[in-house]
Copies of this chain bind each other. A is one copy, B any other.
Amino acid sequence: MKARIIVTLKTGVLDPQGKAIEAALTSFGLTGIDGVRQGKVFDVEIAGDDRAAAEATLKSACEKLLANTVVENYAIEIA
């Protein structure tokens, strides 16, 4: 089973990396970019067909390792 986890910074948390990307895009001549925020994506391959078990495993993975829940949100999409 395939799943995708997307980890993004919470609203209000400063994102200097995103700001740097925004500035770089503007300096490359792109117009109309009002903001960029960078996050992480994890494509996970999970054994078995039990969606509930997979979701529990992935939630645990996010809480333990993949996301810092103080400043980041995560979303789990199971294909």
- What count of chain A residues pass the 8 Å CB interface test? 34
Most buried by B among A28, A37, A44, A65: A44
Total copies of the chain: 2
**CB distance A31 to B57 under 8 Å?**
yes
Closest residue of chain B to A22, judged by CB? B44
Taken together as a complex, chains A and B put the C-alpha atoms of A39 and B4 apart, in Å, by 10
Check if B47 sits within 8 Å of A32, measured CB to CB.
yes
B33 x A43 contact (CB < 8 A):
no
Contact for A38 among B30, B31, B42, B47, CB less than 8 A: B42
Residues of A within 8 A of B (CB): 6, 8, 18, 21, 24-25, 28, 30-48, 53-54, 57, 60-61, 64-66
